[in-house]
Structure 1
Amino acid sequence: MQHLTLERHQVWIYLAAIALGLWVGMSAPGAAPFLDALLWPVLALLLFATFVQVPLWHLPAALADHRFMSATLIGNFVLVPLLVAALLPWLPDDPALRLGVLLVLLVPCTDWFITFTKLGGGDTLRAISVTPINLLAQLLLLPLYLWLFLGAELSLGLNPVELLPALFGLILLPLALAALLQRWINGHSSRVAVQRRLAWWPVPLLALVVAMIAASQVSAVLGALPALIQVLWLYLAFLLGAALLAKALARLFRLSTASGRTLAFSLGTRNSFVVLPLAIALPTGWETAVVVIVFQSLVELFGMVFYLWWIPWRLFAGRD
């Protein structure tokens, strides 16, 4: 099986993993503590394998295309937060649910965004070059966004200091190790095979993560089902609005058709991998945040099936 085939069918793998996890959680509820303990190293390995695929040392190449870079940064870090702000009032008044939605919608994707750009006729090289900028910008800006959106609500039963171990142990440490490995790989062409082998890891590892979350948080998953209907419509509205924002920015910055498609996939895909550790590290009572983040990933994958038709054949049709 080719790696691209695995990524095309990943949504079905995740659905099967969630179903298996729910069955395990209901059949063997005593396994929850063991799964909670196992979740952290698996999640760290997932993020490491994901970060290895991000060209962390390609920042100069990303900065070279000023128009595309400007459109991407304005879209992801100015217009998308404004879109989320417009959608947020439609959510129930539940701090945990709102926090989960904000965590996942405010940060652009750094992994399968490149895959869908390639499948959708976008500019893969631009997608690769802009990814490290998106990753670094979201790590810097996410705390500011959360303070602006939920400043008062975050103070209710949530101590941000409790998230520091997850931030450093599950995000910054894997990021640093991935950068060191990339530096080692870049030193010799024969070492590229290591990176290619690691590219197979994210899909099965994420399937294992969502299965363990479903098994250990089965009551939270089942309890959140009514709210997920409202969240579903918000996620669908976000996918539609993000693509239309990309179209407007592409016209404003006079981007090529391929660059416009790349921008649309950048604005439409979100970085659930990176924010998931933060949600899992939240104290008791905030489990809904984890559920809505995992749910967003599934909605987004189905949405990308629509994007792969709509973006290249309707919204950004034709050639340059």
Structure 2
Amino acid sequence: MLTLSSRDRLPAATLTSSLLVMAIIIGALLGHFAPDRGQWLGDNVDTTLLTMIGLLFFSVRLDVLAQQAGNLRFIAIAVVANFIFVPLIGYGVASLFMAAHPLLMVGLVIYFVSPCTDWFLGFTRLAGGNVALGMALIPINMALQLLLYPFYLQWFTPHTGAIDPQLIATTLLHWFLLPAIAALTLHYTLRFMLGEQRFEQCLTFADRATPWVIALLVLQIFAGNIASILAHRYVFAWLLLSVFVFFVLTFLLSEALSRGCCLDYPEHALLTMTIAARNAPLMLAVTMTVLPGQPLIYAALVMGMLVEFPHLTLLRRVLIVLERHPYPSRWLHRRNSG
């Protein structure tokens, strides 16, 4: 979901949100009224997972990093925010609301610590943010969250029990590093063979196919595990409240960093969106391989996605208001720069 133009990313995000709702409903109905078929779907997720992983990595564009080499200050601010401050906020919120439900807490923490690598750019564009600089964050966010995933799992989710670090490393190697190498090799081979214009069509197809693959994966999760999920249905209200509180706190963080670092509005909008948006699809794939057979953890990740899209839409409106009524520190910064 990384290659559509920024103009097309918001429709793709809206489509993903709609498909998620339909996938949850259809999967739940299948699992409840046709449990044998639901179980079969739940037991055959490996192909769907590998397809989604391949599409995600195939769409990554590493060449944009070189184009934004002069913006290291902003990139450093975004990295510190996304991989230090936001995880601490996320762990605090999950511990406060979900400590009595450890598996849901694990899912929430995984969701909270993983910055988005796709649709945040569509919302950034609509808010008037710096989309070109945002493209440079995509490979950085993807690489760092995969590298840090084992450490976050050990530090923030002790309820998962003792997990062999070697097992996590092996899983990431076979399920993510090798598919990433294969997907990126195919990416640059096709780019060379087809030329830029025809290759862009391949990237657009991959981008548009990804929401459907995510929806199929969610359908399989709910079809195969609806009984376990329904047994905890009353807890999901607290889970949604946790996500809401997390989004409020991360917005305050983005405002504090933007003001403290005197960011101009385009970078302010980008920082706000990259801090707000999370990367549930990739983390869902990672978690299903590292922590198999944990439907409540997966359900928490999916529920976070459902709240995220309305939040980003509201955030875009808030940022536009802020652009029209800039806070004093930014006005002074612009005046001094002029």
Fold similarity call, TM over 0.5: yes
State the AA in 2 paired with 1:249.
Answer: L
Pick the aligned partner of 2:199 from 191, 202, 207: 191
More moved, 76-85 vs 21-30: 76-85
Shift, 1:57, TM fit: 3.6
Do structure 1's residue 21 and structure 2's residue 27 form an aligned pair? Answer: yes
In structure 2, what is the Cα distance between the partners aligned to 1:166 and 1:34?
Answer: 23
1:52 aligns with 58
Task: Kindly provide the CA deviation profile for residues 233-283 of structure 1, in whole angstroms up to 9, marking residues without a partner as x.
Answer: 110111111122111112222222011111111011111111112332324
In structure 2, what is the Cα distance between the partners aligned to 1:226 and 1:160?
Answer: 34
More moved, 93-102 vs 54-63: 54-63
State the AA in 2 paired with 1:240.
Answer: V
1:202 aligns with 210
2:145 aligns with 138
Q: Determine if contact 1:224/1:291 at 8 Å carries over to the other structure.
A: no
Do structure 1's residue 103 and structure 2's residue 105 form an aligned pair? Answer: no
Shift, 1:150, TM fit: 2.7
36 and 183 in structure 1: CA distance in 2 versus 1, 3 angstrom threshold: same
In structure 1, what is the Cα distance between the partners aligned to 2:166 and 2:104?
Answer: 20
1:266 aligns with 274
239 and 191 in structure 1: CA distance in 2 versus 1, 3 angstrom threshold: same
State the AA in 1 paired with 2:80.
Answer: I
Shift, 1:205, TM fit: 1.2
Q: Determine if contact 2:49/2:285 at 8 Å carries over to the other structure.
A: yes
State the AA in 2 paired with 1:218.
Answer: I
1:174 aligns with 179
1:285-300 mapped onto 2 (5 Å cutoff): 286-300=294-308
Q: Determine if contact 1:11/1:301 at 8 Å carries over to the other structure.
A: yes
Q: Determine if contact 1:114/1:127 at 8 Å carries over to the other structure.
A: yes
Q: Determine if contact 1:63/1:69 at 8 Å carries over to the other structure.
A: no
1:124 aligns with 131
Do structure 1's residue 214 and structure 2's residue 222 form an aligned pair? Answer: yes
Pick the aligned partner of 1:255 from 236, 242, 263: 263
State the TM-score, normalizing by the size of structure 1: 0.89
More moved, 37-46 vs 17-26: 37-46
Q: Determine if contact 1:117/1:265 at 8 Å carries over to the other structure.
A: yes
In structure 1, what is the Cα distance between the partners aligned to 2:297 and 2:165?
Answer: 15
Shift, 1:232, TM fit: 0.8
In structure 2, what is the Cα distance between the partners aligned to 1:74 and 1:176?
Answer: 27
- Unaligned 5+ residue runs, structure 2? 1-7, 327-333
Task: Kindly provide the CA deviation profile for residues 61-87 of structure 1, in whole angstroms up to 9, marking residues without a partner as x.
Answer: 344302211110111011101212321
2:287 aligns with 279
185 and 283 in structure 1: CA distance in 2 versus 1, 3 angstrom threshold: closer
Q: Determine if contact 1:68/1:253 at 8 Å carries over to the other structure.
A: no
What is the RMSD computed on CA atoms of the aligned residues? 2.3
64 and 3 in structure 1: CA distance in 2 versus 1, 3 angstrom threshold: closer
What is the count of residue pairs matched by the alignment?
315
State the TM-score, normalizing by the size of structure 2: 0.85
User: Tell me, what secondary structure is at the counterpart of 1:55?
Assistant: coil
User: Tell me, what secondary structure is at the counterpart of 2:32?
Assistant: helix
- Unaligned 5+ residue runs, structure 1? none
In structure 2, what is the Cα distance between the partners aligned to 1:160 and 1:278?
Answer: 14
In structure 1, what is the Cα distance between the partners aligned to 2:238 and 2:42?
Answer: 28
More moved, 141-150 vs 193-202: 141-150
State the AA in 2 paired with 1:117.
Answer: T
Do structure 1's residue 74 and structure 2's residue 42 form an aligned pair? Answer: no
Q: Determine if contact 1:21/1:215 at 8 Å carries over to the other structure.
A: yes
Shift, 1:164, TM fit: 5.5
Provide the identity percentage: 24
Q: Rg bigger for which structure?
A: 2
Shift, 1:30, TM fit: 0.6
